[in-house]
Copies of this chain bind each other. A is one copy, B any other.
């Protein structure tokens, strides 16, 4: 069974799994869980949505880092998968995933060597760039490696990476066009600061404002006779906004497959909770100590949940409030003392932020109801290079 080698530590569990009898309550906690019904709903809904608007879907793999999930997305119609870094892309490629767009520039001699190796095995791979010297370095390496690299210009429509849109971007495009071993494949415009703007109308205004310079850059390039076959944009928060922006050709959302607390809280088109996609991702913990009435200590802390957001994990049963208890523990407090969990009870949580939480785990247990249907390796976990 793919990715289930962990089960070797527990022959009893392996036997239960082989007999289809391994359930949620059997798992070693803290454990990362995927509700397959919710996950499949999310994939189907996003694929149908993007298709119905005539756009392409290239979901971001940094959210899951899991080739099995990437392949499920491609089976649903995705044209490929985004990877944040070259080392993440390598894992997807080894796992049988094509159509990779690497969304951070590949910088440095040794990483560029890896990019050349990847392009040789997966010639359709696209690399984002925003720096003139980096483009020259990539072109030189491509010449030596006897490949032609597909480049996408990363436009600075947010607060992180990218070249300024319009004239600075056009100058980079002209440089790419002038070099024989690289070609301009498209544009990337990721507005990270827009994804979590609270309120759908506010978010729409912010996204249209952020995307306008990208769309104008595409038009400017085309007026100069420089073809741009794609403009990749969008996040889970703007999935139903960016499809309406003329000139955007593909979406690269990531979190919609899982959802998390911060996305739930940004507000949807129809109300204060953004629930267009279901919460498929949870972390299962066990109560390991019960110091008194109304308090229970679970076995998940800073190493079980990412802590980059101001909120704390949300118990799925809403019966307690979680507060951080350090690296290894969480402290649950119960308003209704009679509901206090006992030592050995399990408690399941929706996570504050999905991507860096998934990055803490080596595998994800895929559940159909309470039964473990598959165990998928998070094969690119830790691959941030």
Judge if A324 is at the interface, Cβ distance under 8 Å: yes
- Checking B28, B131, B308 against A385 with a beta-carbon cut-off of 8 angstroms, the contacting residue is B28
- Contact in complex: B130, A289 (CB < 8 Å): yes
Chain A residues within 8 Å of chain B by Cβ, number: 69
Let me know if A144 is at the binding interface, CB within 8 A: no
Cα–Cα distance between A329 and B104 once the two chains are bound (Å): 9
| Most chain B CB inside 10 Å of its own CB: which residue of A304, A324, A360 | A360
- What residues of chain B lie closer than 8 Å to A31, measured between beta carbons? 385
Known contacts A9-B90, A304-B384; decide if A110 and B28 are in contact (CB<8 Å): yes
Are B303 and A356 within 8 A (Cβ)? yes
Say what secondary structure dominates the interface of chain A.
loop
B299, B308, B359, B361: the one within 8 Å of A324 (CB) = B308
Question: How far is the CB of A15 from the nearest CB of chain B, in Å?
Answer: 12
Check: A62 CB closer than 8 A to any chain B CB. Answer: yes
CB pair B159–A331 under 8 Å, yes or no, is: yes
Q: Is A202 an interface position by the 8 A CB rule?
A: no
Name the residue on B nearest A328 (C-beta): B84
Contact partners of A299 in chain B: CB under 8 A: 85, 104, 107, 384-385
CB distance from A120 to the nearest CB of B (A): 14
CA distance A151 to B85 in the complex (A): 46
Would you call B161 and A291 a contact (CB within 8 A)? yes
Listed from nearest, the 3 A-B pairs whose CB atoms lie closest are A161-B289, A28-B385, A307-B308
List the interface of chain A (C-beta within 8 A of B): 9-10, 12-13, 26, 28-31, 62, 84-85, 87, 90, 104-105, 107-108, 110-111, 113-114, 130-131, 133-134, 154, 156, 159-162, 164, 192, 286-291, 297, 299-300, 302-304, 306-308, 324-329, 331, 343-344, 353, 355-356, 359-362, 381-382, 384-385
